[in-house]
Structure 1
């Protein structure tokens, strides 16, 4: 067998490599069934084995027993039924439930199948003993690791990490005014209604945020502004985190997290002891982010914003 392709791709082609091995073993299995005169398809084996252990099971029971989907089991049952290896009936207590039972034809193969299973089991154990790594145990470990976190989630996390490295956090400049304004308007109007204080801050950020001692940070992805966050000075020791917004098309790159960390670092540089924020509990991803950053819920004074129903604080 030519392994050149997999030597080039490495572990990236794990699924293809496993599928190749599976196809090779399935081909071998078909020949082995013929050797013992057992006229079944290799893919039927899990269902046949499960029914041999406990006959008269539903499709759902079989699917759970062998770890296949119900659709996959139904297809196998259909093939076995066409070859008269199973009988299909309705449950006596529930006409909606289909019960699968081995036919007499299938049962006549069971003695030979048991001999085959014993020989195959010993042969596989001997082969695994010759290997440097125990494949059976490795597959158990692989299943465990995929249960902890799917390959999709692992790849998605790596993608986010890679893309987040292309994010730059820069100080506000006049060239970013329109982006600052539009990103916040889009975010606010998606969930709430704009209020007078929003217009004041978004239309006049220099006057309302920067000149009184605050600052605005802009997140750039590949040079384009995709996120904003502001620090508004409340007094000499407390700043408010406000006007955090991320372009929906740029989400998934940890931009909110990067902005939050950068703003807290800036607050520390400005001599802040506390950073305060106002939000709404309906914004679950935002609240989760604030908790992750280290903010704790507090009972503050009445907010000037109608949409505020939660206040949080971070102690530097």
Structure 2
């Protein structure tokens, strides 16, 4: 059996070497299981009738006279349901008592039973020995695992591993996107991409059709621009820079991204292209109109630097917010 376990551990170590940081979760879980197995055996050796998973709850109750399920859950970072389950198991083992709060009968107060209090005194010797053993390991190790865990917990608390991976995925996929100037061959895409999102949330209006059916005369010949986002050569996003004579500036408008291409920063790349074009033209500000139900779009505009303003009457029934960017 010992040879099998040794062989298993060696195989795992080889896997970790080959997989590298991709095996982070598996490696941390393996280390946790190793320590957990030892912890269970340590409780048995010291004849302390407690399961390792009970320790956080037991420790809180050992250091405070009484508690509630909610306060324990907050103290140890567990869910209410998880703490309730542990308390049920500890209650069956005779370690805790539950009683209704005399001042608020909706609350249940949790305390250690006499058996639990006796155990909390007896277990101090185990605590001291375990602490000394960990100090020995720390002294022999090149890196301080305890400090590293604290640091990782802090950093992951600021931004999870999932969030970081998704950001990198988005950045990598956005590198496959190419922003190009409008050509007549993109006329159909310009119309269909805009029609798709407008029809999903609102109704196509006359100003929409004027611009989408005649982009050359309505936008380009008046001094505007249109940019198209290509993904593997396919148009998946569009955005226009439209001259507004009534405002004395240009408007960022007709931005649309295909649902199948969302999550690749295409809207942001199109917006950046529009802003940069306006700067090249020497414009002082950019204007746009939108609707607050389009929360991702509003966040995108804010990321580009737009702020809410009160502008002139809008030709669109769907518009309930106007924004401006100082260039």
| TM-score scaled by length of structure 2 | 0.87
Deviations 1:105-139, CA, capped at 9 Å, x for gaps: 33333333011101111221221122111111111
Asked if the contact 1:89–1:100 (Cα under 8 Å) also holds between the matched residues in 2, the reply is yes
Alpha-carbon shift at residue 140 of structure 1 (Å): 0.9
Alpha-carbon shift at residue 189 of structure 1 (Å): 2.8
Question: RMSD over aligned Cα, in angstroms?
Answer: 2.2
Structure 2 counterpart of 1:302 = 313
Bigger mean CA deviation after superposition, 175-184 or 278-287: 278-287
Gaps of 5+ in 1: none
Q: What secondary structure, in the 3-state scheme, does the structure 2 residue paired with 1:38 have? A: coil
Alpha-carbon shift at residue 269 of structure 1 (Å): 4.1
1:140 aligns with 2:155: no
Q: Which of the numbers 110, 113, 125 marks the counterpart of 1:115?
A: 125
Q: What secondary structure, in the 3-state scheme, does the structure 1 residue paired with 2:226 have? A: strand
The separation in 1 between residues aligned to 2:244 and 2:156, in whole angstroms, is 48
Alpha-carbon shift at residue 312 of structure 1 (Å): 3.4
The separation in 2 between residues aligned to 1:47 and 1:273, in whole angstroms, is 61
Q: What secondary structure, in the 3-state scheme, does the structure 2 residue paired with 1:233 have? A: strand
Q: What secondary structure, in the 3-state scheme, does the structure 2 residue paired with 1:128 have? A: helix
Structure 2 counterpart of 1:219 = 229
Structure 1 counterpart of 2:191 = 181
Alpha-carbon shift at residue 272 of structure 1 (Å): 4.1
Structure 2 counterpart of 1:267 = 278
Deviations 1:23-58, CA, capped at 9 Å, x for gaps: 111111122112211122111122222111123322
1:242 aligns with 2:253: yes
Alpha-carbon shift at residue 298 of structure 1 (Å): 4.5
Bigger mean CA deviation after superposition, 136-145 or 50-59: 50-59
Q: What secondary structure, in the 3-state scheme, does the structure 2 residue paired with 1:307 have? A: coil
1:288 aligns with 2:309: no
Q: What secondary structure, in the 3-state scheme, does the structure 1 residue paired with 2:142 have? A: coil
Structure 2 counterpart of 1:204 = 214
1:162 aligns with 2:191: no
Alpha-carbon shift at residue 163 of structure 1 (Å): 1.2
The separation in 2 between residues aligned to 1:305 and 1:103, in whole angstroms, is 70
The separation in 1 between residues aligned to 2:76 and 2:293, in whole angstroms, is 42
Structure 2 counterpart of 1:230 = 240
The separation in 2 between residues aligned to 1:109 and 1:298, in whole angstroms, is 66
The separation in 1 between residues aligned to 2:116 and 2:282, in whole angstroms, is 81
Bigger mean CA deviation after superposition, 134-143 or 258-267: 258-267
The separation in 2 between residues aligned to 1:295 and 1:45, in whole angstroms, is 51
Alpha-carbon shift at residue 98 of structure 1 (Å): 2.9
Change (3 A) 1:78 1:298: closer
Report how many residues are paired: 315
Deviations 1:58-99, CA, capped at 9 Å, x for gaps: 211221222222222122112222222222333333333333
Q: What secondary structure, in the 3-state scheme, does the structure 2 residue paired with 1:40 have? A: coil
Alpha-carbon shift at residue 305 of structure 1 (Å): 2.5
Structure 2 counterpart of 1:25 = 35
